[in-house]
A and B are shown apart, each in its own frame.
Chain A
Amino acid sequence: MEKVDKIVALILKYRGKTLTEEESNELELWLSEADENRSLFNELVNDESLAVRLKIFDEVNSEAIWAKSMDQVASTGAVVPLRSGNNSWWKYAAAAAVILGVSIVGWQYLKPGKADSVTSKQGASKDNFGIVPGSSKASLTLIDGSTVALDKSTGQDKIQQEKVLVTRSNGQIVYTGGSEHPAVGSKVLFNTLTTQKGGNYRVILPDGSVVHLNAASSLRFPIAFAGNERNVSLTGEAFFEVAPMPRKPFKVKIETPAGDGGTVEVLGTRFNINAYSDVSLVRTTLLHGSVKLVTPSAVQKVLKPNQEAIVNKRGQIVEVREVDGEKAVAWQKDKIELSGNIEEVLQDIARWYDLTVEFKGKIPNLSLTGQIERTLSIDEVEGVLRKQGLVFELRKKERIIVLI
Chain B
Amino acid sequence: MTPKFQDNTYWMLSFREGKHDAFRKVFNEHHRSLYYLATKMGLEREEAEDIVSDSFTKLWHGRSSFSNEEHIKGFLVTTTRNACLNLVSQKKRRHLSHNELSYILADHEEDFFRKMVESELLRKLYPHIEQLPKKCKAVFKQIYLEGASTEEAAERLGISTRNVLNQKARAIQLLKGKLLLLLLICSFLHIYNVVTAENTSNKSLHQAFFKKSEKSFCQKAHTRCLYGCTR
Contact = CB atoms under 8 A, between A and B. Distances in A.
Interface residues of A, number: 70
Q: Is the interface of A mostly helix, strand, loop or mixed?
A: helix
Contacts of A50: 125
B118 interface: yes
27 contacts: A4-B117, A12-B121, A40-B114, A40-B117, A44-B118, A44-B121, A47-B182, A62-B28, A65-B49, A65-B52, A66-B31, A68-B50, A69-B52, A73-B61, A78-B60, A80-B18, A83-B20, A92-B62, A93-B65, A96-B63, A99-B58, A99-B65, A106-B75, A106-B79, A148-B64, A149-B65, A155-B9
B52 A15 contact: no
Nearest to B72: A103
Contact of A4 (B24, B50, B61, B113): B113
B78 interface: yes
Interface stretch (B86-94, B139-147, B164-172): B139-147
Nearest to B178: A16
Interface in B63-86: 63-68, 70-71, 73-75, 77-79, 81-82
Interface of A: 1, 3-5, 7-8, 11-12, 15-17, 34, 36-37, 40, 44-48, 50-51, 53-58, 60-62, 64-66, 68-69, 72-73, 76, 78, 80, 82-83, 85-87, 89-90, 92-93, 95-100, 102-103, 106-107, 109-110, 148-149, 151, 153, 155-158
Across chains A and B, which 9 residue pairs bring their CB atoms closest together, nearest first?
A106-B78, A99-B62, A103-B75, A68-B53, A107-B74, A96-B65, A69-B53, A100-B65, A69-B56
A96 B36 contact: no
Interface string B88-119: 00000000000000000000001111101110
Contacts of A56: 35-36, 39
B159 interface: no
A247 to B, nearest CB: 37
Contacts of B222: none
A155 B114 CA distance: 32
Given A58-B126, A72-B57, A153-B68, A11 B13 contact: no
A153 B180 CA distance: 36
B227 interface: yes
B20 A82 contact: yes
Contact of A57 (B32, B53, B73, B113): B32
Contact of A96 (B61, B112, B182): B61
A139 B114 CA distance: 38
A316 B54 CA distance: 61
A61 B18 contact: no
Given A62-B31, A82-B18, A90-B64, 10 more contacts: A4-B120, A16-B181, A54-B145, A57-B33, A58-B126, A73-B61, A103-B79, A106-B78, A106-B79, A110-B74
A72 B58 CA distance: 9
B125 A54 contact: yes
A22 B29 CA distance: 31
A28 to B, nearest CB: 15
Given A15-B181, A45-B182, A8 B82 contact: no
Contact of B129 (A54, A103, A149, A157): A54
A72 B121 contact: no
A12 B24 CA distance: 27
Contacts of B75: 99-100, 103, 106-107
B135 interface: no
Contacts of B124: 8, 12
A80 to B, nearest CB: 5
Contacts of B224: 47
A60 B39 CA distance: 11
B94 to A, nearest CB: 26
A89 B54 contact: no
Contacts of A76: 57, 61
B114 A36 contact: yes
Contacts of A156: 9, 13
Contacts of A82: 18, 20, 23
Nearest to A5: B120
A351 to B, nearest CB: 25
A106 B32 CA distance: 21
A45 B82 CA distance: 29
Contacts of A17: 181
B153 to A, nearest CB: 14
B39 A89 contact: no
Contacts of B49: 61, 64-65, 68
Contact of A7 (B50, B117, B145, B179): B117
Contacts of A103: 62, 71, 74-75, 78-79
B191 interface: no
Nearest to B144: A51
A93 B64 CA distance: 6
A146 B146 CA distance: 53
Contact of A86 (B18, B28, B114, B146): B18
A92 B124 CA distance: 32
B78 A110 contact: yes
Interface string B1-33: 000000011001100111110011001100111
